[in-house]
Amino acid sequence: MDELSERLSRLEPLRNRPRNDFAQDAYLRDIVERNLEVAAQCCIDIASRLIALEGGQKPADYQEAILRLGELSILSMDFARQLAPIAGFRNILVHEYLVVDWDKVYANLQRLDDLKQFAIQARAWMLKQSNS
């Protein structure tokens, strides 16, 4: 959770940069791409850990891991469906880095609130479990 928070804090000041700045600055693109990749991976890693703690069935893939959190009521199901595509986005960044769609990277930068909401809901679940 700390790493996710760190990545989000690095991305937050960049999300309001104009799309044109992003298009013209390879260093800015690199910073955003890497931090989004790690933030998405953090969500996946956290999801896997929470599923294990809850004794849930192991997911077949990363997207299913996010959806499983909805099934287990760790996240709301609607939110899990909304967030699940971040796993596919992470896969593109990791495996198809030569053909990255920078419009999608920029669009995901605008969706930082989803990653923040993931952290809020995951923390709330963990707090509830520690108080049980």
SS (H, E, C) 71-114: HCCCCCHHHHHHHCHHHHHHHHHHHCHHHCCHHHHHHHHCCHHH
Q: Is the separation of the CB atoms in 62 and 91 below 8 Å?
A: yes
| Domains of the chain: total | 1
| Angle at 70 (CA atoms; ends 69, 76), nearest 5 degrees | 125
Domain of residue 123 covers: 2-131
Mean pLDDT rounded to a whole number for the chain? 93
How confident is the model over 42-100, as pLDDT tens digits? 999 999 999 999 999 999 999 999 999 999 999 999 999 999 999 999 988 988 767 78
CATH code: domain of residue 122: 1.20.120.580
